[in-house]
Amino acid sequence: MERLQPLINEYKNIEIPEEVEFMVRKTINEFESCRNRERKLIKFTAAVAAAVLLFVGAVNLSPVTASAMSKIPVLKELVRIVTIKELAYQSDNRDVNIKVPQIEGLPDSQLEKSLNEKYLQRNTALYEEFLARTGEDELSPMNLALFTDYKVKTHTADILVVEEVKTEIAASGAESVRYDNIDLKNQIIITLPSLFKDDSYIDVISDNIKAQMQAKTNKSEGIMFFIAGDGTVGGGFDKIAPEQTFYITADSQLVIVFDEYAVAPGSMGIVEFTIPTAVIQGSLVSNTYIK
């Protein structure tokens, strides 16, 4: 048996982790919970599954999640937007004024923080880029200006839409606009694709917008749009972008927005189309936001 002795020694020398004693005592003291061990495991799995469902539900904006979330107290009164910073510079022929908004009072401070960081970052970049691009040049004293401003476009118990308008003036002006559609209850940013089951919304909405453009053009002489296949120079409007600018109104309507010059002559400014809910009902994930 001498040959077996090294193996026996090795076995006797198996290191006993310090936590074994603790684990043994704990298991002994709490052994009543042993019986539930397997059940606990299942419960735990179920909880994970539920959490995943909840997450998917939140992403898909299901009404079930929304109603479960609605137990959270109304946030309308708590959330507000303030100007945290104004970036301004003025000379004889340069004028820039950038207002950096900041959201306050969102319960999800992570969302609030990331939004506010985005606002600060983007507006600071705009300011610096404007100054760099329009460095004072005595030989070409062109009047240039850049203004940004923001306002609350929609604010209900459920939804907050922050509108940011950027106006660039180089002899004539160009306005562009951005929206952050914030779901206050679920604490998420609503994107256009997230409202719909699949990509079909792009065609459905685009066709509706084209029809609206035609109708408006026929109705009034002063109105015209650039529509693709209409003989318009440069293509004209064919389809909305998957992440087309949009906002949700207080009465749960979807509004698609185009920057100045994007689909119409500059004289028409920023152009909005309210999409009738009946048109997109088949593509909507739910009627949580759009009714």
Partner 1 sequence: MGRDADYNAITTLILDNRDSIYRLAYSYVHNQADAQDIVQESICKALSSRRSLRQPAHAKAWFYRIVVNTAFDFIRKNKKYLYLEADQLESESCASDPYPDLDLQDTVNKLSTVNRTIIVLRFYEDLELREIADIMDENLSTVKTRLYSSLKKLRLELDETAKTQSD
Residues found near partner 1 in the complex (CB under 8 A):
1-4, 6-8, 10-12, 14-17, 19-21, 23-25, 27-29, 31, 34-35, 37
Tell the smallest beta-carbon distance from residue 18 to partner 1 (Å). 11
Tell the smallest beta-carbon distance from residue 241 to partner 1 (Å). 50
- Give CA–CA dist 22/3, Å, rounded: 36
Tell the smallest beta-carbon distance from residue 6 to partner 1 (Å). 6
Nearer Cβ to partner 1, position 32 or 243?
A: 32
Tell the smallest beta-carbon distance from residue 38 to partner 1 (Å). 10
- Give CA–CA dist 194/288, Å, rounded: 12
* Count of C-beta atoms within a 10 Å radius of residue 178: 16
Nearer Cβ to partner 1, position 24 or 250?
A: 24
Nearer Cβ to partner 1, position 22 or 55?
A: 22
Tell the smallest beta-carbon distance from residue 24 to partner 1 (Å). 5
* Count of C-beta atoms within a 10 Å radius of residue 24: 10
Nearer Cβ to partner 1, position 7 or 233?
A: 7
Tell the smallest beta-carbon distance from residue 25 to partner 1 (Å). 7
Encoded tokens for 136:
């004072």
Encoded tokens for 158:
């459920």
Look at residue 275 and give its three-state secondary structure.
strand
Do the beta carbons of residue 161 and residue 248 sit within 8 Å?
A: yes
The CA-atom distances, in angstroms, between 146 and each of 46, 84, 94 are 54, 18, 9
Nearer Cβ to partner 1, position 16 or 132?
A: 16
Nearest to 119 by CA among 163, 169, 75, 59: 163
Do the beta carbons of residue 61 and residue 194 sit within 8 Å?
A: yes
Nearer Cβ to partner 1, position 26 or 291?
A: 26
Do the beta carbons of residue 254 and residue 280 sit within 8 Å?
A: yes
Nearer Cβ to partner 1, position 28 or 132?
A: 28
Tell the smallest beta-carbon distance from residue 60 to partner 1 (Å). 36
Q: End-to-end distance of the chain based on CA atoms, in angstroms?
A: 84
- Give CA–CA dist 154/84, Å, rounded: 20
